[in-house]
Amino acid sequence: MEAWVDISILGLMALTAIAIVMLRNLLAVVMLSGIYSLLAASIFVVMDAVDVAFTEAAVGAGISTMLFIGTLALTTRIEKKPAHTPVLPLIVVIITGAVLIFGTLDVAVYGDPLAPAMQDVAPYYLENTKKHAGIPNVVTAVLASYRGYDTLGEVVVIFTAGIGVILLLGSWRRGLPKIAPHKDDKA
């Protein structure tokens, strides 16, 4: 049963991706990429990673779709016809896809407790979270306590991204004089 759910969601994702490649109307592409994210969130729910699904649904399907639409409002809605034939990109994609599929042959079976990735620090976290922190959610304990430094770094990255957007597009720029174009810059 679960396999069929997986197959149907992944099939819909593949169809969405093909539609995204074929379409020239960028607004429709943005809508479809939001649907793609929602399908990815469903896959995460099937894999019991509900917290990742929250993030994918809220950021991938919600906020980033809105940011894309905002960008389209500032630029243009119709993609230009490519000047070159799509044969070379197709070859590159086929080779990359083949290499990735070849790589999955060595990946451990999903959920295998004997996989090498499960043998290193995971047993320590699973055994000691209850003893050290007294909370049942091991993921939270790993993120906020055992690996608190990494999470601090992540928060600083998000902070930096916000500061970057404010500096590049923020309303404080409106009072600034226009930056003169470079002498080699045409139009």
Partner 1 sequence: MKEYLVLRVITKLLLPFILLFGLYVQFHGDFGPGGGFQAGVIFAAGFVLYSLVYGVAAAQKVLPTGILRAGLAGGVLIYALVGVANLILGANYLEYTPLADTMKEGQHLGIFLVELGVGLTVASVMMTVYFTFATWRED
Which residues sit at the interface with partner 1, rule CB under 8 A?
A: 50-51, 54-55, 58-59, 62-63, 66-67, 70-71, 74, 132-137, 139-141, 143-145, 148-149, 151-152, 154-156, 158-159, 161-163, 165-166, 169-171, 174
Under a CB-based contact definition with an 8 Å cutoff, are residues 57 and 41 in contact?
yes
- Would you say 68 and 30 are in contact if contact means Cβ atoms under 8 Å apart? yes
Q: Which residues contact 114 (CB under 8 A, 6 or more apart)?
A: none
* 26 burial via Cβ count (<10 Å: 0-12, 13-18, 19+): middle
Min dist CB 171 to partner 1, Å, is: 7
In whole angstroms, the minimum distance from the beta carbon of 162 to partner 1 comes to: 4
If the CB atoms of residues 20 and 133 are measured against partner 1, the closer one turns out to be: 133
Tell me how far, at minimum, the Cβ of 182 lies from partner 1, in Å.
18
Choice between 29 and 61, CB closer to partner 1 = 61
108 versus 135: smaller Cβ distance to partner 1: 135
Rounded Cα distance between 23 and 33, Å, is 12
**Dist. CA 44–CA 42, nearest whole Å:** 5
Characterise 112 by phi-psi region: left (phi > 0), alpha (psi -120 to 50), beta (else): beta
Choice between 15 and 144, CB closer to partner 1: 144
User: Which residue's CB is nearer to partner 1, number 32 or number 61?
Assistant: 61
Give which of 79, 80, 55, 77 is closest to 68, Cα–Cα.
77
Minimum distance between the CB of residue 94 and partner 1, rounded to whole angstroms? Answer: 35
What's the min distance (Å) between Cβ of 19 and partner 1? 24
